[in-house]
Amino acid sequence: MYFSIRTTQSLLANLWLGCAIALPGSSPGLDGSQIEDASTIVRDVAVIGGGASGTYAAIQLRQMGHSVVVVEKEPLLGGATNTYYDPVSGKYIDYGVLIWQDIPEARDFLAHFNISTTIEQFSNSDSARVDLRTGENVPPPQGNVTEAMLRYVDQLLKYPYLSDGWDLPDSVPEDLLLPFGDFVEKYDLAPAVETLTLYAQGLKDWLPYPTVYIMKYFSLGVALGAQNGFLGTADHNNGALYEAAREELGEDALIGSTVAGMDRPANRTHRILVRTPNGYRLIRAKRTIIAAPPKLENLQNFDLDDTESDVFGQFESSFYYTTVTKLPGLPAGLGFLNRGADTLYNLPPLPGVYTITPTLVPEMYTVFYGGGEKKTEDEVKESIKDSVLKLSEAGFNTSEPEILAFSNHSPFELFVSSDKIASGFYRNLYALQGHRNTYYAGAAFHAQDSAALWRFVGNLLKTIFD
């Protein structure tokens, strides 16, 4: 029985493939010889990208009764979630996604995999401010930080729709389009700049960005978390969430795999040729969800039409790198904020280190670096080492750092200019939802915030399948 059914399925698949290859308008990215060698996967939905959005979408789709397959280029799921295990102490160190908003979607997702959680509080009170170009100590912000933060939150409250995505009014409010530096001056937010920008790591120079991007980073949800605490894992092993998801998905997660070609007709089954560690696979799916960063260089084999290419081609991005670094000799429990001694609001010149934060493991720190133009891994590591050694000129006893773990999160924080936002860029971006039976998720469609993305994806799936 098993042999006869599998044989019949194989014959039907081969017949279908033979017809499909000859279809007019077939994507030139689908190589006939590779298709012939590829085994076929038939699913309701194909999810491209296994980061926070893609993994959540896959798990939710299965719970909704839909079959799914996930394609992820990295050897594990989780995207920006990175966890390092220290074999000496037996402890974990998160150095990508550190915490989540404490919202039902996050609690339910973690509870589904029996991940123990705790409430994390974040403070800069145990941090020294140092200009890591010179080793000069920098004073804390002048003025009343709390009052400035309250003024910022008052402005956030004017735009509650930012918590749900990019569904902006046709006439985008002028304040959202102001360069953030102008917004700071307009509402007397100078004492709050340090706090706001520390929560918005991964950006280039913050001050020229349209204010709406800062508000998407430091949202109402983040403001609540800053006051009441964020959700974290009890053992600081956020990667366990995605290990559990990988186990649940089983063979439906094609990790270490990349898209070799696509054919996404609007009214027929999608075909996605995937290069996996075990050879080519051909996915046939009714719908496709793309949860990878929609930069053109990432989508070269995605069968984009002119409409999709025009929208995605407008995105710019930043670069962001995270590390676990061993730094002997520093005072236990003390963190460091990179500040500019001679810059407006003491913002650090970028590209450069944002923060150096102690972990629960002695002498081990998370070091976050980014902004500016793209660098090689060796260039970033060398710059981090140079910056850390400058702490000696600030009076701290430190020696040559050892980078134990490194992750490149580029391209990061996709953005466009104020003029493009005002001209309806995000309206055009959202118009792609459902175009050619393809849907989109990920930070570019909402925010660099895993919990907020889980809520966004849940709402998107309801829209697709209700």
Looking only at the bridges linking them, the beta strands covering 270-276 and 258-263 are: antiparallel
In this structure, of 67-71, 116-120, 374-378, 414-418, the range with the lowest mean pLDDT score is 374-378
Rounded Cα distance between 171 and 168, Å, is 8
pLDDT score, position 365: 97
| Average pLDDT for the chain | 92
- Whether the predicted pLDDT of 53 surpasses 90: yes
- Whether the predicted pLDDT of 399 surpasses 50: yes
Rounded Cα distance between 269 and 285, Å, is 6
- Whether the predicted pLDDT of 357 surpasses 80: yes
Percent of the chain scoring above 70 in pLDDT = 93
- Whether the predicted pLDDT of 198 surpasses 70: yes
Structure tokens at 245: 């998801």
Q: Which residues contact 30 (CB under 8 A, 6 or more apart)?
A: 21, 261, 262, 263, 271, 273
Q: What is the pTM of this model?
A: 0.91
Report the residue count for the chain: 466
Rounded Cα distance between 335 and 351, Å, is 20
Residue ranges of the chain assigned to CATH 3.90.660:
122-228+317-414
- Whether the predicted pLDDT of 347 surpasses 90: yes
Reported as a single tens digit per residue, the pLDDT across 21-49 is 333 334 445 766 678 767 999 999 999 99
Q: Which whole number is the average pLDDT over 455-464?
A: 97
SS (H, E, C) the chain: CHHHHHHHHHHHHHHHHHHHHCCCCCCCCCCHHHHHHCEEEEEEEEEECCCHHHHHHHHHHHHCCCCEEEEECCCCCCCCCCEEEECCCCEEEECCCCCECCCHHHHHHHHHCCCCEEEECCCCCCEEEEECCCCEECCCCCCCHHHHHHHHHHHHCCCHHHHCCCCCCCCCCHHHHCEHHHHHHHCCCHHHHHHHHHCCCCCCCCCCCEHHHHHHHCCHHHHHHHHHCEEEECCCCCHHHHHHHHHHHHHHEEECCEEEEEECCCCCCEEEEEEECCEEEEEEEEEEEECCCCCHHHCCCCCCCHHHHHHHCCCEEECEEEEEEECCCCCCCCEEEECCCCCHHHCCCCCEEEEEEECCCCCEEEEEEECCCCCCHHHHHHHHHHHHHHHHHHCCCCCCCEEEEEEECCCEEEECCHHHHHCCHHHHHHCCCCHHHEEECCHHHCCCCHHHHHHHHHHHHHHHHC
Reported as a single tens digit per residue, the pLDDT across 441-454 is 999 999 999 999 99
What is the CATH architecture assignment of 122-228+317-414? Alpha-Beta Complex (3.90)
Say whether domain 32-81+235-315+417-465 belongs to CATH 3.40.50.150: no
Residue 129 CA, distance from chain mean position = 27
pLDDT score, position 374: 85
- Whether the predicted pLDDT of 17 surpasses 80: no
Rounded Cα distance between 133 and 130, Å, is 9
Q: Report yes or no: 264 and 288 within 8 Å, Cβ to Cβ.
A: yes
Confidence grade of residue 7 (pLDDT, cut at 50, 70, 90): very low
Residue ranges of the chain assigned to CATH 3.50.50.60:
32-81+235-315+417-465
Reported as a single tens digit per residue, the pLDDT across 218-241 is 999 999 999 999 999 999 999 999
Reported as a single tens digit per residue, the pLDDT across 260-282 is 999 999 989 999 999 999 999 99
Confidence grade of residue 466 (pLDDT, cut at 50, 70, 90): confident
Q: Which whole number is the average pLDDT over 311-316?
A: 98
Q: Report yes or no: 446 and 166 within 8 Å, Cβ to Cβ.
A: yes
pLDDT score, position 3: 29
Q: Which whole number is the average pLDDT over 132-147?
A: 96
Torsion over CA: 218, 219, 225, 226 (sign) = positive
- Whether the predicted pLDDT of 16 surpasses 90: no
pLDDT score, position 29: 58
Structure tokens at 111: 């509870």
Reported as a single tens digit per residue, the pLDDT across 163-192 is 999 999 999 999 999 999 999 999 999 999
